[in-house]
Amino acid sequence: MSENNINKSIASNDSNLLSTSSSKRTQDKMSDDETTKSNKISKSGWLLKWTNYLKGYQKRWFVLSNGVLSYYRNQTEVAHTCRGTISLHGALIHTVDSCTFVISNGGTQTFHIKASNEVERQSWVTALELAKAKAIRAIESEEEEEDNTANVIPSEELNTVVRDLTIKLENLKTCYDLITKHGSALQRALAELESGEDLASKNKIVNERATLFRISSNAMINACTDYLTTAQTQGHKWSKMIQHVNDQKLHLEEMVEQLARQHSHLEQAAAHQGQRAHGAHGGASVTSPSDDEENEFYDAQEGASIASNEDTSFILKIPGPKSSQHQREMSNDEDDRSSSEGEEYNSQKVLVVAESTDQNVLNSADTTDRASIHSSNSLTPLNQKTSLVKRRTKVPDKPNHPLNLWSIIKNCIGKDLSKIPMPVNFNEPLSLLQRLTEDFEYAELLDKAAQAKTTCEQLAYVAAFTISSYSTTANRTGKPFNPLLGETYECDRTDDLGWKCISEQVSHHPPMAAQYCEGRGWRSWQEFTMTSKFRGKYIQVVPLGNAHVEFTANGNKFSWRKVTTTVHNIIVGRLWVDNHGDMEIIGENNATGYKCHLKYLPYSYFTRDSQRRVKGVVMDPEKQVKWVLNGTWDNKMELASVTSTSGSPENPVYRTSNYKTIWQRRLPPADCDKYYNFTTLACQLNEPEEGVAPTDSRLRPDQRLMENAQWDESNSEKLRLEEQQRQRRRQREAEAERATIEGRPYPPYEPIWFKKEKEEGTDNVIHVYRGQYWECKSKQDWSRCPSIF
């Protein structure tokens, strides 16, 4: 840059340069202060909190800061001892009465809080809602910044920044040369001024030299500020990039370490298995794992049988009260933890022994029982009764769009995948609401349960129904679409299957769906939310929220929570799904005291058990086992009654009658691998239907485009819908902020067909069906439905 250009450039801005720089710094500081203030909404005060160990409300000091609500026993503990916290970005805030409100984060923590009066309660609820909105906004901003940082090309970014900094550095050098030149000239002028001759002309020269020196100095200040701003901006970005790379390195190191441990475990297990095989076969050779390095991890074979006596006799460990998911308190704070100190919860080991019976007799009994099950007029499985509506039996074939899953989610290690936008390439053309409806594919088991003679038998059929809901997950690795807030789905199959249900996405943070279904002599409802984490090698989905079924004839009610689902081989190999964990089905109302414990065994290559096996027992209020369940969640379940009991109360031995098959999976069409491995019912869930609500999943454009094999258009439409949803959320946040400033209450989002109520018999707040959907459909009155598509 030439000296003349520098002089011309800086002369025009000389008069306001310093004031502009000062003003900019002041504005930046004010902006930072405003941002900090908006993101750090603080409130503190005394409130009453329910504590489990005292079974009552206790006075606690609550502090709301940075999107987190914390509490202490007194104000002096704030500096050193926090008794419990709950993050608001994924919490539900519900007002119970004029003074009481509940904060829950989807099933793991719940605070029951009471204010001294209605004004104080409303003040806290408003502050909490606003803090939640701010926390969500801050997290999304950080995630967007992380995504932008992760998606840049380091070489291009680096070259651009270096080029900009080089130009600014040249400007600094030019300004330095000018300051040196004009400074020397000013010194000479001052020296000549001391001679005392022709003071007027010399004074003029000094003033000119001083002016040039001042201009050059201001230009230097301006260039330094510009350079510093650029360096600070890029430095922040580079630090984020470095932090991102370091985080990825740590995750990858943990993953490699985990893989090494698993590899060592597999080698030890293989060696142990080889030794046993060697001893059993008189020295037969065993192939080591290293002999087949290209071997992929596949699912177990379809149609695994439970025919052998080795499988029908088993040991089942039943956890004590502490492990029961329905007796587990959802508040994980110190007040509640102290209640369990010193208490012991003993588990019970149950040995089940099947009676030895001639195999031909056993097969005959099994066939006879299955025939009797399906001969009842009240049972109408899919395709066994003519529907009044002709329905489709398949969807368009899935196009061949190869895409590396690892390339998309490698930056998502440790994150909740339910909150991360994914391209439709990993989806299937069904929403989560429709996938929940698939739970009722074998609703005839509930019909059979409604006809059961005893509560224990009824509970056994309910248990089989809960297991049958996993039958389609074995080869369904596609991710369902995340429903938009207010999205609904109805499925009326009264004419052929005998049930109808309605589902709605009732919350976006945390994502939560509510469902209600009516059948022949029963009604079922559930509130479904989940956490999902990507661990590098696998994705784990942990369901939260409970499901319920109630039988109208006897008033028996049963509740349960779903088990964990894991998708394996994310990095390499074919994707496969496993369901594992413990499930307890608890009797309520007239069935209080009855319980069924089910054990979903995790998949293992080194076990004598059948893969995907489920085993369980049904117990009466006296804790005596009456029925035994045995089978696999992807094929069939068998049931046997207990004929005799022996052993000690701590380790009883139960002998059973012959097993009978109470549920058999209906295999999907032979070519279903061409269309997402859908069953016949799954193919019909997204079939266009007239008269549904305008918020119905069938009308979702991106999902319909994907089903029609228009994936590029579907991805574009999906982005539009997600951005539209974010705009609606920002609008609600802005309205909440205005209400807070004006000192008036702002009502939170309310679902259309469901409402929040306190669950009967517990302190949990759940979404229950408020009715009127089918009446509105008959009238075609959808005035209450928002426009979300």
Dmax over Cα atoms in the chain, in whole Å? 134
* pLDDT mean over 174-180: 80
Between 741 and 674, the more confident residue is 674
Confidence of residue 491 (pLDDT cuts 50, 70, 90): very high
> In whole angstroms, what is the distance from residue 700 CA to residue 722 CA?
12
Residue 467 pLDDT: 96
Task: Identify the weakest region by mean pLDDT among 112-116, 145-149, 365-369, 375-379.
Answer: 375-379
* pLDDT mean over 715-741: 87
Distances (CA, A) of 35 to 21, 28, 129, 738: 21, 10, 18, 17
DSSP category for residue 544: E
- Answer for the pair 61, 46: CB distance below 8 angstroms, yes or no: yes
At residue 352's C-alpha, the angle toward residues 346 and 354, to 5°, is 175
* pLDDT mean over 289-293: 34
Confidence of residue 214 (pLDDT cuts 50, 70, 90): confident
At residue 702's C-alpha, the angle toward residues 697 and 707, to 5°, is 85
Between 204 and 18, the more confident residue is 204
**Does 660 score more than 60 pLDDT?**
yes
405's tokens:
């899953």
- Answer for the pair 713, 435: CB distance below 8 angstroms, yes or no: no
> In whole angstroms, what is the distance from residue 646 CA to residue 289 CA?
43
**Residue 362 CA, distance from chain mean position:** 45
Between 578 and 325, the more confident residue is 578
Tens digits of per-residue pLDDT, 3-32? 455 444 444 444 443 344 444 444 444 444
**Does 373 score more than 60 pLDDT?**
no
Bridge-based pairing of strands 636-647 and 625-632 is antiparallel
Tens digits of per-residue pLDDT, 639-659? 999 998 888 877 888 888 999
**Does 271 score more than 60 pLDDT?**
yes
116's tokens:
């001294």
The three-class DSSP label of residue 524 is strand
> In whole angstroms, what is the distance from residue 658 CA to residue 361 CA?
9
**Does 722 score more than 70 pLDDT?**
yes
> In whole angstroms, what is the distance from residue 450 CA to residue 457 CA?
10
* pLDDT mean over 193-218: 77
Between 391 and 647, the more confident residue is 391
Residue 88 pLDDT: 84
The end-to-end CA distance of the chain, in Å, is: 55
> In whole angstroms, what is the distance from residue 143 CA to residue 154 CA?
19
> In whole angstroms, what is the distance from residue 415 CA to residue 348 CA?
37
**Does 281 score more than 60 pLDDT?**
no
Residue 300 is which amino acid? A
Residue 645 pLDDT: 87
Confidence of residue 594 (pLDDT cuts 50, 70, 90): very high
The three-class DSSP label of residue 65 is strand
Tens digits of per-residue pLDDT, 109-122? 788 899 989 888 88
**Residue 206 CA, distance from chain mean position:** 74
Please list the residues that pair with 500 across neighbouring strands.
492, 518
